[in-house]
Amino acid sequence: MSELDLTASVPEEALMPHLERQLFERRAMKNGILTALTWAAAILGSIPLFSVIYMLVIQGGARLDLEALTALPPAGFESGGGFGNAIVGTLVMVGIAALISIPIGILAAVYLAVLGPYSKLAGIARFVAKTLTGFPSILAGVFTYAILVIAFGYSALAGGVSLAVLMLPTIVLAAEEAMKQVPQRMTDTAFGMGCTHTQVIWKVVLPTGLPGILTGVMLAVAGAAGESAPLLFTALFSNYYISELMEPTASLSILIYNFSAMPFENQIELAWAASLVLVLIVLAFNILARLVGQPRV
Amino acid sequence: MGTTRWEAILKVMLPTASSGLLAALALGFGRALGETMALAMLIGNSNQVSLSLFAPADTLASLLASNFPEAGRVEVQALMYAAMVLLVITFVVNVIGLGVQQYTMRKFEGKK
């Protein structure tokens, strides 16, 4: 007898075992079910964003025209009108907030990243900034109410300060992270050539870290533009264009909040349109953050 | 070693990442505690204690949002107190979250 016959009598499975997983084996089945579950969860998680955008475009797009963008808010039973003053108010207050928080934030980040990264003060500042990012935004409003509004009344300035409180920690943490990315050998070389701290910071650390810093700033600005809780009792609201910084000022988010609760069809439509504009503004800053953050080739 | 993908996820990845997940959970919880406007619009702003999930109610943040704009002196004092309670609660939750996060980072740096 030849050896060929011997192998032929052995069942084929013993020679060629199934190395691939069978679909209905217990472990493989569990695998499949759980994978399907994560797919479902991922889809469920993205539903809110898409449905919100869909609703905004459908409901808000209908009223979005030049009049809505420039006119003053309508009274009770009036038709037409718009929210031009709220757009200006939002931009002004975010501008004030940026003027306050960007210099302080970047300087603080310089200290955290370059001057004393391991000092006790830096540790405390870092901890404070991290806790502040998780803080309820309305507390920034309460704080500003206590220090500014009680003394000077509702104003655009107070609104800007409360937004600055919210922007500051975001800027500090992002700018510190960006400056830490600057290679150690670059700063070492600069010091080695006899540069002072100031020269190193101005000519090496800040320019090199600039894209990252700008990204943080833009994200903070986008967040502040969409914020409404702190403005509620610092800037209040106004039906007219802003003429000076020390008077109550309209903002998009407060307008949306006020108008959406009104019993008039016209106001509710305007609230939808204002929401769409606000989302577009925030989106624009987010995209800008992406663009400036890309390393230059 | 021949695990399916899900055995690897459940038995290796999740236990390793658990403290990081916990930190994320605590920080997310802190966020939700302080959320103001979405609640102020939907919750109904009623100053009563009710056990029903379907009755109008209040959260600390929505209470502040709805009452602060037209508050008198005495009311402002009461609302400031509410703000302080909110501050303490969110502070504690955030510190727990950050603490767990720090602990996780140190654990991973130690292993390297």
Put simply, the answer to whether B65 touches A135 (Cβ < 8 Å) is no
In this structure, is residue B2 part of a structural domain? no
Q: Given the structure tokens 């540069």, which residue do they identify? A: A195
In this prediction, the residues of chain B whose per-residue pLDDT falls under 50 are 112
In this structure, is residue A193 part of a structural domain? yes
Put simply, the answer to whether B7 touches A145 (Cβ < 8 Å) is no
In this structure, is residue B14 part of a structural domain? no
* Residues contacting B84, CB < 8 A, separation 6+: none
Q: Beta-carbon neighbour count of residue A19 at 10 Å?
A: 5
Give the model's confidence band at A242: pLDDT under 50 very low, under 70 low, under 90 confident, else very high: confident
In this structure, is residue A234 part of a structural domain? yes
In chain A, alpha helices (H) = 3-9, 12-15, 26-55, 61, 66-70, 84-110, 120-133, 137-144, 150-152, 156-180, 184-192, 197-200, 206-225, 252-260, 265-293
Higher pLDDT, A245 or A158: A158
Mutate to test the interface with B, among A139, A251, A259 (most CBs of B within 10 A): A139
In this structure, is residue A55 part of a structural domain? no
In this structure, is residue B5 part of a structural domain? no
Domain count, chain B: 1
In this structure, is residue A244 part of a structural domain? yes
Domain count, chain A: 1
Domain range for residue A244?
Answer: 66-293
Give the model's confidence band at A1: pLDDT under 50 very low, under 70 low, under 90 confident, else very high: very low
Separation of alpha carbons A256 and B41, rounded Å: 10
pLDDT (tens digit per residue) in A183-214: 888 888 888 898 888 888 888 888 888 888 99
CATH number of the structural domain spanning residue A75: 1.10.3720.10
Q: What are phi and psi of B81, to 5 degrees?
A: -65, -45
How far is the alpha carbon of B45 from chain A, nearest alpha carbon, in Å? 13
If 0-12 CB within 10 Å is exposed, 13-18 middle and 19+ buried, where does residue A161 land? buried
Amino acid B112: pLDDT: 46
In this structure, is residue A90 part of a structural domain? yes
In this structure, is residue B100 part of a structural domain? yes
Identify the closest residue of chain A to B96 by CA–CA distance.
A131
In this structure, is residue B66 part of a structural domain? yes
Whether A290 shows a pLDDT value over 80: the answer reads yes
Q: Looking at this predicted complex, what is its ipTM? A: 0.77
Q: CA quadruple A127, A129, A133, A136: dihedral positive or negative?
A: positive
The pair of three-digit structure tokens given for residue A94, joined into one six-digit string: 């975010």
* Among the listed residues A239, A210, A249, the one whose alpha carbon sits nearest the alpha carbon of residue A95: A249
Domain range for residue B105?
Answer: 19-111
